[in-house]
Structure 1
Amino acid sequence: MTTVATPPAAVETLAPKRKPRQKTGPGSIFKYLLALIFLIIVLMPMYVLIVTSFKSGADIGVTSQWNLPETWTLASWEKAWNVLRPSFIRTFELAVPVAIISSLIGAANGFVLSRWRFPGADVVFTLILFGMFIPYQAVMIPLREIVTTLGIPPGITTLVFVHCVYGIPICTLIFRNYYATTVPEELIEAARVDGAGLLRTFGRIILPISIPGFVVTIIWQFTSAWNDYLFAIFLSNTRNGPITIALNALAGAQSPDYAASMAGALITSLPTLLVYVLLGRWFIGGLMAGSVKS
């Protein structure tokens, strides 16, 4: 049996190439140092917020804002929770329906506008997108007049309707891009050959593969509705409004309790933080899924 010698050049070609070791030079050290400085600057207000929320009234002052509490107490958290608890529950009743309803409407609009090229589709899409560029401040007084004229009582129901309407343009844009660039045309054609109509194709085939788009729109709409203050101040009050109204009442008293205000701010931001922590890993992927053709 004859053994064929492998040329040295072939051996070098077959051998796995080692990645060149990156050198840590002064430029890299400077970038990491600069990032660390920016991180500290960003986290400084959060440090003051958390530390102050555990202080008693005697420990709070301009000169002692960076100091740790001499006595750690949860009294401010209990006070803030007692004030914010009713509006906390009402805000979930606002943000959850807004996120779901506007996402479903945006998904339906996006599917029709991306796959059903009816006459005037581009004009309809342009008119829908026009709603994204109308500032809230420009419609507040007319919107309040319409709600008053129609006899719609202020509160969570009115805010759900308004946020769903304002959320349709951005949800439609996200889903239209997602369906146009990610969902293959062959999938739609196969459903059409099997006798599925537009609604059945959307419900049985398109919705199950639309999770990345729904993650993006749900995070966006939930956060927008939860953090809204402008619509809330015009269309609700402290008795039937969301948590932003109650937080403003807690922090805007004549003798403000700074520790309770800090605790209330942390309680208010906790749900949106949890949403980003739980769904954030799919957020960027969902955005990119509708931006690049496969």
Structure 2
Amino acid sequence: MALYAVLLLAVLFYLLPLVVMLLTSLKSMADIRAGNLISWPEEFLLDAWVKAWSSACTGVSCEGVGAFFWNSFQITIPAVLISTFLGALNGYVLTKWKFRGSDIFFGLMLFGCFIPFQVVILPMAQTLGWLGLANTTTGLVFVHIVYGMAFTTLFFRNFYVSVPSELVSAAKIDGAGFFTIFWRIILPLSTPIFVVCIIWQFTQVWNDFLFGVVFSGGDTQPITVALNNLVNSSTGVKEYNVDMAAAMIAALPTLVVYVLAGKYFVRGLTAGAVKG
């Protein structure tokens, strides 16, 4: 019982900020001024959510965060899918089709996991300028693919180390080639690590602020940048309910992903994502 009591206290401690945000977003401003942070709303209202979505000011524009919410999806989905697929291909090559210097190559690639965001800003900005992708959604997708590939390669490489090499050797003897082995043998075994990488990358890309604020502009900004602009925009009275509603809107996709797929994330990790 003591263990369950401690766990319950931990759950309440970590959920309290979320509860405060949700309750505040459902209150009127008069209710917020009259009560305290965790008081129950006198009346549940969705006005703040509607305003945050469609008419709140995010800088000089007062069209809400709705458009930026869809921008984040346009950035996140292709970045996650492409970086995950490239990581799977890299991990497959580095474990089952090793070449001279492959271990050194993998070690050098690992440096990408430890390079701070700030270090790559200037060279990446120059690269996007050369490619004509500055201040575009496509440019942000490219940035996240490049930065995320080191992590996905690490995950897949460590997972594929635990896959018996005899499977690949037998397929080679039967005449299967590089991509045939990848599609028909390796990928069907990779569901757990795909889930891990997709959840990891989705969270990293969706929650990114620094790359979004540096490499996007105007209508191409992700929702994290729009949320920052909304909170720091002042039009007189500070509307905390609208701020909290916008924060909840920005957090909903990652919350849904973890609620629906969190157990698969843990299973994927224990199935070999951190082995090797």
Q: TM-score higher than 0.5 here?
A: yes
SS at match of 1:60: helix
Question: Residues 74-96 of structure 1, C-alpha deviation per residue, up to 9 Å, x if partnerless?
Answer: 10010112111111111111111
Which residue matches 1:94?
Answer: 75
Asked if 2 retains the 8 angstrom alpha-carbon contact of 1:237 and 1:245, the reply is: no
Which residue matches 2:16?
Answer: 44
Question: Residues 21-54 of structure 1, C-alpha deviation per residue, up to 9 Å, x if partnerless?
Answer: xxxxxxx52x433333332222221221111001
Asked if 1 retains the 8 angstrom alpha-carbon contact of 2:125 and 2:134, the reply is: no
How far is 1:133 from its partner?
1.0
SS at match of 1:267: helix
SS at match of 1:170: helix
Measured in 1, the distance between the counterparts of 2:248 and 2:186 equals 38
**What letter corresponds to residue 57 of structure 1 in structure 2?**
M
- Among 241, 256, 264, the alignment partner of 2:221 is 241
How far is 1:145 from its partner?
3.4
SS at match of 1:71: coil
Measured in 2, the distance between the counterparts of 1:91 and 1:55 equals 27
Measured in 2, the distance between the counterparts of 1:193 and 1:142 equals 45
**What letter corresponds to residue 40 of structure 2 in structure 1?**
L
The unaligned stretches of length 5 or more in structure 1 are 1-27
- Among 264, 268, 271, the alignment partner of 2:250 is 268
| Structure 1: 4+ residue segments shifted above 6 A | none
- Among 211, 222, 234, the alignment partner of 2:202 is 222
Measured in 2, the distance between the counterparts of 1:289 and 1:197 equals 27
**What letter corresponds to residue 59 of structure 1 in structure 2?**
D
How far is 1:286 from its partner?
1.0
Measured in 2, the distance between the counterparts of 1:168 and 1:96 equals 15
- Among 284, 287, 292, the alignment partner of 2:266 is 284
Which residue matches 1:212?
Answer: 192
Superposed, 1:30-41 pairs within 5 Å as 31-41=3-13
The unaligned stretches of length 5 or more in structure 2 are 55-63
Measured in 2, the distance between the counterparts of 1:192 and 1:149 equals 42
Provide TM-score, normalisation by structure 1.
0.85
Which residue matches 2:176?
Answer: 196
Which residue matches 2:39?
Answer: 67
Measured in 2, the distance between the counterparts of 1:197 and 1:147 equals 36
Asked if 2 retains the 8 angstrom alpha-carbon contact of 1:80 and 1:261, the reply is: yes
SS at match of 1:152: coil
The question of 1:147 aligning with 2:128 is answered yes
Which residue matches 2:167?
Answer: 187
Alignment RMSD (CA, Å): 1.7
How far is 1:185 from its partner?
1.9
Measured in 2, the distance between the counterparts of 1:211 and 1:135 equals 30
Superposed, 1:21-170 pairs within 5 Å as 29=2, 31-61=3-33, 64-82=36-54, 83-170=64-151
**What letter corresponds to residue 48 of structure 2 in structure 1?**
S
Aligned residues: 264
Measured in 2, the distance between the counterparts of 1:100 and 1:62 equals 47
Identity of aligned residues (%): 46
Asked if 2 retains the 8 angstrom alpha-carbon contact of 1:238 and 1:246, the reply is: no
Q: Which stretch of structure 1 is more off in the superposition, 61-70 or 196-205?
A: 61-70
How far is 1:102 from its partner?
0.4
Which residue matches 2:159?
Answer: 178
Measured in 2, the distance between the counterparts of 1:127 and 1:62 equals 58
Larger radius of gyration: 1
Provide TM-score, normalisation by structure 2.
0.90
